[in-house]
Each structure stands twice: as structure tokens, then as C-alpha cells.
Amino acid sequence: MTSGTRLLLIGPPGAGKGTQASRLASAFAVPAISTGDIFRDNVANQTELGLKVKSIMDAGEYVPDDITNAIVADRLREPDAKNGFLLDGYPRTPDQVAELDRVLAAEYEPLNAVVLIDADPEEVVARLLKRAAEQGRADDTEGVIRHRMSVYSAQTAPLIDLFEERGLLVRVDGLGSVDEVTERILNALAAAGVVA
Ligand code: ADP
């Protein structure tokens, strides 16, 4: 049996998930597992997986569920995830939810909470364009950003209701400084009985 804290972090592109994920992961002493980072590392290292997903990511589409699910299942089996984890950017589709449910039921205790970082679409487009100028991510051009937003709205936003029905959803406003948002998340989790 496993112990520790098991969290998901969801929210639109540009809501600040990556930044908050590393802070929450250290607060809870669990690994932050970001599917976006795993894919980007593979693209940078030109692995077989990287070559497969590069054009999909550059177009702002989701990587196919079978690929994404296999990567997360493998990563969760590594020893450091046995005592809890924070998944950033997964699951994003109903099929990914079903696969995560299967993996958790077989090998883990249930999730403690699903943190939604809420953000206004126009605000996050502006943030992403700023990040594009600073970091030059290939999927941060305005057209691709808008496409990623619409993919999120169509495929991932509907999952919010599901986690709400399961009583797991902790909703936090993503507008504000990084510190403010972290504090908001930790307070909201504590109010839901999830304490670091
Ligand atoms: P963002 O939150 O801005 O979309 P991420 O770093 O989380 O940024 O993801 C970047 C890209 O990686 C996505 O646009 C998608 O192509 C791919 N990706 C990441 N996570 C998933 C996932 N769970 N399912 C499918 N594709 C994913």
C-alpha cells in the first residue's frame, strides 16, 4: 500500500501550472510529474518518442492517449512516486481519466484532491505571448496558443465537472502573483483536509 499525497493539477494553458506544480511538490515532498515536460525533454533529446510527438505539440494538439497513458503509467511505477505524486497536465481527456483510475485502483490509494487553477482566457493568452518572447517555446505563437485554448475547452474543461462530482475539486483563482496563488492553493487544500 502507498501513503503520501496524490494530487492532480489542471487548468488552461498559461494558467501557471508548471510553476505552481514545483512549489506544491516541494511543499508535499512528492515528485511533480509533468507530461508536457516529459514530452519536451524527449523532443530536445530527439528520442523516438520525441520525434513522434514534436509536430503534434508544435501544432497545439494533444499527444494520442495511448502514448500519453503509457508514459504516465511507467513514470508512476518508479519508486519515488510510491509515496505520493503531483501530476501536472494529466489527465486531459476522458480516456486518460479512465486509465489513471485503473492504475490507481490497482497500485495506489485514491487521489486526495484535484487542483484547478482557473484563469481568464484573454489573460492567459497574454501571459503565453510574454513567455514566448522570453523562452521561445515552439508552441507559443498566437495562433497555436488560441488553438491550445480551444483544445483545452473542448477536451479537458469537461473533466472539471467529473472531479467536482467525485468531491475532489479544489478551485483556485490563478490571477495574482506566484506567491499569492501558491498560498491560495495551500489554503484551499488545507480547507479540504489536504495538509502539507
Ligand atoms: P500547456 O499547459 O500550456 O498546454 P504543457 O507543457 O502542459 O503546456 O503541454 C504542452 C503540450 O504537451 C500540449 O500542448 C500537448 O501537445 C502535450 N501534452 C502534455 N500533456 C498532455 C496530455 N496529458 N495529453 C496529451 N497531450 C499532452
**Residue 146's domain is classified under what CATH number?**
3.40.50.300
47, part of any domain: yes
6 an active-site residue?
A: no
**Residue 139 located in a structural domain:** yes
> Would 154 be classed as within a structural domain?
yes
**Domain span at 168:** 5-191
pLDDT attached to residue 73 = 96
Q: Which of 23, 40, 75, 148 is catalytic?
A: 148
Whether 163 and 92 have beta carbons less than 8 Å apart is answered as: no
CB 123 within 8 Å of CB 6: no
Residue 196 domain-assigned (yes or no): no
Kindly state whether residue 119 falls inside one of the protein's structural domains: yes
- Residue 131 among the catalytic residues: yes
Q: 11 CB less than 6 Å from ligand 1?
A: no
Q: Is residue 78 part of a domain?
A: yes
Q: What is the pLDDT of residue 139?
A: 83
Q: Is 20 in the pocket of ligand 1 (CB under 6 A)?
A: no
Q: What is the pLDDT along the chain (196 residues), one digit of tens a residue?
A: 447 999 999 999 989 899 999 999 999 999 999 999 999 999 999 999 999 999 999 999 999 999 999 999 999 999 999 999 999 999 999 999 999 999 999 989 999 999 999 998 888 888 888 888 888 777 888 899 999 999 999 999 999 999 999 999 999 999 999 999 999 999 999 999 999 8
Residue 51 placed within a domain: yes
Q: What is the pLDDT of residue 21?
A: 97
Predicted local distance difference test score (pLDDT) of residue 140: 82
Q: Is 56 a pocket residue for ligand 1 (Cβ < 6 Å)?
A: yes
Atom 14 in ligand 1: residue holding the nearest Cα: 60
pLDDT at residue number 74: 95
Task: Say if 173 falls within a structural domain.
Answer: yes
| Annotated catalytic residue within 6, 92, 127, 184 | 92
C-alpha span between 83 and 5 (Å, rounded): 7
Sheet containing strand 169-173, edge to edge, reads 32-34, 84-88, 5-10, 113-118, 169-173
62 lines ligand 1 (CB under 6 A): yes
First to last CA, the chain: 20
- For ligand 1, the distance from its centroid to the CA atom of residue 118, given in whole angstroms, is 17
127 annotated active-site: no
Which pTM value belongs to this model? 0.93
Q: Which pLDDT belongs to residue 2?
A: 46
Long-range Cβ pairs for the range 185-191 (8 Å, 24+) = 185/20, 185/24, 185/115, 185/117, 186/24, 186/27, 188/115, 189/7, 189/113, 189/115
For ligand 1, atom 6, name the residue with the nearest CA: 36
Domain count, the chain: 1
